[in-house]
Amino acid sequence: MTAKPNRAKKASPPSNAPAPPVVESSRSVRIRSELSELYRTGIALAQRFQKNDSKDKQPDFHHSYQAWYTKAVPAVRSLAPDRLAEFKGYYEIDPKRKSLGYGTFVIQDFMKGVQPSRLQYPDFDIRTQTLSSFYNQLALLHSLTERIDSALANIEGQLYADIQDNELAVARELAALSLRAAGALAGVIIEGHLQRLADHHSVKLSKKNPTISDLNDALKAANVLDTPAWRKVTYLGDLRNICCHKKGVEPTKAQVTELLDGCEWMSKNLN
């Protein structure tokens, strides 16, 4: 049999269609919107402060900034706890401060009417220094938009871990009453963990309702699980099947204990 000659395919013109938009969760959209509004409010306040040099307008900045700062601190604490001290450092007076001048003057000094000695710093402009600290805070706040998705993922991951720990504790207590029931609950925990792992790594699944075996094989094919981990999950799936399907074979206490210990191993090692 002769092979059919390869016919060159006509190159299709490059598509100018835009890439499909990334769909964000409603929580992510809401946080992004609130953060943008907080940033815009701060920019507007900084611009008013920059344009206004008269002392009779200072109370407006005092009150407005305090309200803004009160909202901004929790946002930074939630999305970038590693930068919270830096953010607060632009406002709060360092209790260990030994001198007041460039590099140590903060917004709280302006609020209290404190300024460096005119003899040491004759050209020191407290409004310029206050504005500089404020803009540094705004720049830090603006950078937090890049952390929203990862911060939410961390929060969701922690919540899931807590739920999984609670389910495992219930399963261990249930083992004293029914080994089959405890094993069945362990199977639910394993399946849920593998499903979340597949979602996290964007692993495509061929079935709408995949089993433990389906999930395990798909994760191994996607190189998410190595062979030793795949084999261990396979074994745990077999133990789960004994508890749920083989009516003629009763699961032993040792098997259920091994299954529950395997759930705990998965939560700590397969992420």
CA distance 264 to 269: 9
Domain carrying residue 125: 30-146
Residue 238 within a domain = yes
Over residues 154-159, the mean pLDDT reads 57
Inside any domain, residue 223: yes
Q: What values do phi and psi take at 192, rounded to 5?
A: -65, -40
Q: What is the pLDDT of residue 200?
A: 77
- Whether residue 254 is contained in a domain is answered as yes
Query: Which three-class secondary structure state does DSSP give residue 82?
Result: helix
Are residues 211 and 141 part of one domain? no
Same domain, 236 and 185: yes
Per-residue confidence (pLDDT) for residue 152, from 0 to 100: 58
In a domain, 62, yes or no: yes
Residue 104 sits in the same domain as residue 206: no
Among 146, 161, 192, the domain boundary falls at 146
Residue pair 158/201 in contact by the 8 Å Cβ criterion: no
Domain annotation covers residue 153: no
If pLDDT is split at 50, 70 and 90, which confidence band does 4 have? very low
Q: Tell me, yes or no, whether 225 and 181 share the same domain.
A: yes
pLDDT above 70 (res 246): no
Note every long-range contact of 249-252, with CB atoms under 8 Å and residues 24 or more positions apart, other chains counting: 250/179, 250/180, 251/179, 251/180, 251/183, 252/179
Same domain? 113 vs 183: no
Q: How confident is the model at residue 237 (pLDDT cuts 50, 70, 90)?
A: very high
| CB 154, CB 242: distance < 8 Å | no
Q: Is 188 exposed, middle or buried (0-12, 13-18, 19+ CB in 10 A)?
A: middle
Among 76-90, 139-153, 228-242, the range scoring the smallest mean pLDDT is 139-153
How far is 164 from 152, CA to CA, in rounded Å?
Answer: 18
Query: Which of 249, 235, 256, 234 minimizes the C-alpha distance to 182?
Result: 256
Instruction: Return the closest-CA partner of residue 148 out of 74, 71, 69, 80.
Output: 80
| Sign of CA pseudo-dihedral 24, 29, 31, 32 | positive
Residues 132 and 209 in one domain: no
> Which residue reads 């937090």 in tokens?
144
pLDDT at 27: 65
Candidate ranges 83-87, 123-127, 192-196; pick with highest mean pLDDT: 83-87
Q: Same domain, yes or no, for 130 and 194?
A: no
What's the pLDDT at 26?
A: 64
For residue 69, give the nearest of 87, 48, 56 by alpha carbon. Answer: 87
Say yes or no: 45 and 139 in one domain: yes
137, 63: one domain: yes
Note the Cα 105 to chain centre separation in Å.
34
What is the predicted pLDDT for the residue at 13?
42
The domain total for the chain is 2
Return the pLDDT at 139: 92
* Sequence-ordered list of residues with C-beta below 8 angstroms from that of 262, at least 6 positions apart, any chain: 186, 190, 232, 235, 236, 239
Q: pTM, whole model, 2 decimals?
A: 0.50
pLDDT value of position 19: 44
pLDDT in the model for residue 157 = 59
Q: What is the pLDDT of residues 100-114, one digit of tens each?
A: 888 889 999 999 888
The answer to whether residue 195 sits within a structural domain is yes
Question: Are residue 141 and residue 187 in the same domain, yes or no?
Answer: no
Binned at pLDDT 50, 70 and 90, residue 133 comes out as very high
Does residue 44 lie in a domain region?
Answer: yes
Mark whether 134 and 183 lie in a shared domain. Answer: no
pLDDT of residue 51: 82
> Does 81 reside within a domain?
yes
Average pLDDT of the chain is 81
Average pLDDT over residues 51-60: 61
Q: Give pLDDT, residue 159.
A: 56
Give the other-Cβ count within 10 Å of 3's Cβ.
5
Tokens of 208: 């709408």
Note whether 175 and 260 are within 8 A (CB): yes
Q: What is the mean pLDDT of residues 198-206?
A: 85
